[in-house]
Amino acid sequence: MSSLLKEQVNKWGLDNKITIIVSDNAANIVAAVRLCQWRHFPCFAHSINLIVQSGLEAVKLILNKVKAIVEYFKHSTYALSRLNEIQTQGGYSVLKLKQDCPTRWNSTYDMVDRILKIKDPVLSTLAIINNDLNTITFDEWNVLKVLCQILKIFYDVTNEISSENYISISKVTIFSRAMVNYVSGFTNNSIMPTEICSVAKILKDKLHLRFDQLENNEVVMQSILLDPRFKKQGFPNDQKYQSAYQSLSRKVQIVPIGQDAQEPEATLGIGPLSGPETIWKDFDTRVIAVSGGSNVTVAGILELNRYIAEPLLKRTEDPLVWWNERKLIYPKLYQLVCRRLCVVATSVPCERIFSKADMVLTETRSRLTTDKVEKLLFLNHNLD
């Protein structure tokens, strides 16, 4: 697999353009990326799904009861018809029950949220046509209600991080800390059902296990600092901020300045010649070389400090627009921005392309060549 990856990278001329590879947590993909000696970033949304699935094991028996009810209405047109009638008679908006699927992110939340919304019509329908399925106790309904509250933050984070139109890499540690803090409120809480405390503890432990190392990821830390919405405020403490600052400072010092940069001319301080030019030629050449290198280094640090001193951008505004307007003011940093904020935190865009492939390559178009399929997918994805 690593050979195939290298082949495609060479084919598209991307050898020196890879910042990081984002994929799901499949062991074969992770190993292939490492064999290619590229940095790997596990899909944030996929990791969240794995965390949630682990936590749901603590309420598996209750969820199985919900699944049985949902499956019954999915397979019985009569039951579904009666459910719709009772919803209409009760003044409810007619809603369908949703079935969960372990591989479909947020599907368990959708299933629980939906059955809670139409709980009364569902119970009324079951009482009329199949009361044997009505096995969820009063306490279990309470567990489902609180479970839905816990899962809501994972649902919201997954949806926001999966967007293709916004920067995502600089948000991952902010989101991971938010999830940890949120579920912590449900652990060791005496008024919470035992099952909920178990779910919350598993979720908290798994969040730490999968996401704590992000605080030490150079690409992630530099991305936070380069996002004008976050900067220093995106770090949990001053130590992490200083570490990211030093890392970015070393990086920016070696970035060459482009031709369009608005950089002040270097003042070398040589002064007027005090003798024939030939006498001082070698000495002046050495001074210019040393001073030039020093100015490049200082320019990078000054850029970084000026940038950090600027007011924070509003969280709802686009940081890419902000950087595009200031790319000539911060030429060195801008080059780093292009190498950091381009990283997406999930592999969702790729998954969406695979889904489109199923629509492009159908039974009636099964004789399309590989080359034609690639071109059709390219157009289909980029013309949306």
Q: Is 30 helix (H, G, I), strand (E, B) or coil?
A: helix
Q: Is 95 helix (H, G, I), strand (E, B) or coil?
A: coil
DSSP type of residue 87 = H
DSSP type of residue 343 = -
For residue 248, the model assigns a pLDDT of 96
Q: What is the DSSP code string of 201-247?
A: HHHHHHHHHHHGGGGG-HHHHHHHHH-TTTGGGGSSSHHHHHHHHHH
Q: Which of 43, 25, 119, 96 is closest to 344 using CA atoms? A: 43
112-127 residue pLDDT tens = 999 999 999 999 999 9
Give the helix, strand, coil percentages of the chain, each rounded to 5.
70, 0, 30
Q: How many helices (H) and strands (E) does the chain have?
A: 17, 2
φ/ψ of residue 21, rounded to 5? -105, 125
Q: Which of 160, 127, 151, 149 is closest to 45 using CA atoms? A: 160
Average pLDDT, the chain: 86
Q: Give residue for tokens 């790997």.
A: 40
Q: How far apart are CA 71 and CA 74, in angstroms?
A: 5
Residues 154, 52 contacting (CB under 8 angstroms): yes
pLDDT over 70, % of the chain: 83
134-169 residue pLDDT tens = 899 999 999 999 999 999 999 999 999 988 778 999
CA 298 to the chain's CA centroid: 34
φ/ψ of residue 265, rounded to 5? -65, 145
Would you say residue 356 has pLDDT above 60? no
Residues 345, 44 contacting (CB under 8 angstroms): yes
Q: Is 271 helix (H, G, I), strand (E, B) or coil?
A: coil
Residues 86, 73 contacting (CB under 8 angstroms): no
Residues 148-179 as b or e (16 or more Cβ within 10 Å = b)? bebbebbbebbeebbeeeebbbbbbbbbbbeb
For residue 228, the model assigns a pLDDT of 97
Residues 6+ apart with CB under 8 A from 143: 59, 62, 193, 195, 196
For residue 352, the model assigns a pLDDT of 62
Pairing relationship of beta strands 40-42 and 21-23 according to DSSP bridges: parallel
Q: Which of 227, 234, 218, 212 is closest to 167 using CA atoms? A: 227
Q: Is 42 helix (H, G, I), strand (E, B) or coil?
A: strand
Band of residue 32 on the pLDDT scale cut at 50, 70, 90: very high
Q: Which two tokens stand for residue 175?
A: 């989101």
For residue 255, the model assigns a pLDDT of 86
Would you say residue 183 has pLDDT above 90? yes
Q: Which two tokens stand for residue 229?
A: 């919405």
For residue 266, the model assigns a pLDDT of 39
pLDDT over 90, % of the chain: 65
Question: pTM here?
Answer: 0.83
Burial class for 53, CB neighbours closer than 10 Å (0-12, 13-18, 19+): middle
Q: Give residue for tokens 């064999």.
A: 35
